[in-house]
Amino acid sequence: MHKTIFITGGASGIGRAVAVKFGQQGWFVGIADINEGGARETAAMLPAGKNSVHKLDVRDREAWDEALAACAKASGGRIDVVFNNAGVPLGGSLIENNTAEIERCLDINLKGVLFGAQAAHPWLKASAPGSCLLSTASAAGIYGTPGASVYSATKFGVRALTECLDAEWAPDQIKVCDLMPGFIDTPLIDMNPNAGSNEDIRSRVLEAGLEITPVSEVAEAAWKAVHGKDLHNRVGKTAHRLAFAARWMPGQLRKQTRSSLKPLGG
């Protein structure tokens, strides 16, 4: 019997790349996104008859249940992996961010992941052992990123949730893990970091001399995470450097962070 993965944020970027990767491996792929048109474009890249498309706003708890049930019905009754991936960027200092964009970032990046985990649990429990909840955290969840306090807070939250559920769901034999990518070559980094900025994230990253990792590397990391044993799966040089510095040189990292106006995480 084929396996099924349900992916949020599947209309582009990391979600699309992971959908293609798992589709190539013979999995049934449920593609969920608030952008239904983009989700259908992703579906067109996958083997015919082995995918389903679901319009989903991850902030809507009831919509989660409906989308997962529809995916399971289309796939033959089971879901083996839920990839909690949908997210939005938000940069700028905290005092520059307006209420609406703070609430949007919190609602999508954190509340949406919490709702997704709740909704995913019965499906993953039913297909355990071998099932997995995979969530997209960030290098910004390794050490706080100056100029992205709200975004960093959400990604630390995803990291914390992963660690909590790793313990809570162990009796159910559900694997829980996350991805911690740095700056990834997706449409998100071509967006402005906040409503008050007219410079896109990509320009800032390149100006800071940081690398942009191909999205294909994240897809490979997602495949390895689902089939591996690591709780946190770092992707890209920035994420690995931050993790090393946070563990072995915390004082130096703090000093560098305090003296830098450029973001260090993804």
The string of pLDDT tens digits covering residues 129-156 is: 999 999 999 998 999 888 889 999 999 9
Q: What angle do CA 215, 217, 220 make, to 5 degrees?
A: 120
Residue 254 pLDDT greater than 80, yes or no:
yes
Pairwise CA distance, residues 38 & 53, whole Å: 10
Residue 60 lies inside a defined structural domain of this protein: yes
Residue with tokens 């690591």: 230
Could you list the active site residues? 151
Residue 117 lies inside a defined structural domain of this protein: yes
The string of pLDDT tens digits covering residues 84-130 is: 999 999 988 899 999 999 999 999 999 999 999 999 999 999 999 99
Pairwise CA distance, residues 187 & 124, whole Å: 30
Helices and strands, number each (H, E), in the chain:
10, 7
Residue 181 lies inside a defined structural domain of this protein: yes
Residue 264 lies inside a defined structural domain of this protein: no
Residue 264 pLDDT greater than 80, yes or no:
no
Residue 241 lies inside a defined structural domain of this protein: yes
Identify the CATH number of the domain in which residue 213 sits.
3.40.50.720
Q: Is the dihedral of CA 82, 88, 94, 99 positive or negative?
A: negative
Q: Is the dihedral of CA 13, 19, 22, 24 positive or negative?
A: negative
Q: Which domain holds residue 96?
A: 4-259
Identify the band that residue 242 occupies on the pLDDT scale cut at 50, 70 and 90. confident
DSSP H or E stretch at residue 45: none
Q: What pLDDT is attached to residue 236?
A: 86
- Among the listed residues 181, 170, 243, 266, the one whose alpha carbon sits nearest the alpha carbon of residue 216: 181
What single letter denotes the amino acid at residue 98? Answer: N
Identify the band that residue 261 occupies on the pLDDT scale cut at 50, 70 and 90. low
- Among 38-52, 66-80, 155-169, 203-217, the minimum mean pLDDT is found in 203-217
Domain count of the fold of the chain = 1
The string of pLDDT tens digits covering residues 183-211 is: 765 555 555 455 554 455 444 544 544 56
Residue 67 lies inside a defined structural domain of this protein: yes
pLDDT mean over 13-38: 96
Residue 56 lies inside a defined structural domain of this protein: yes
For the entire predicted model, the pTM comes to: 0.88
Residue 266 lies inside a defined structural domain of this protein: no
- Among the listed residues 174, 202, 175, 184, the one whose alpha carbon sits nearest the alpha carbon of residue 239: 184
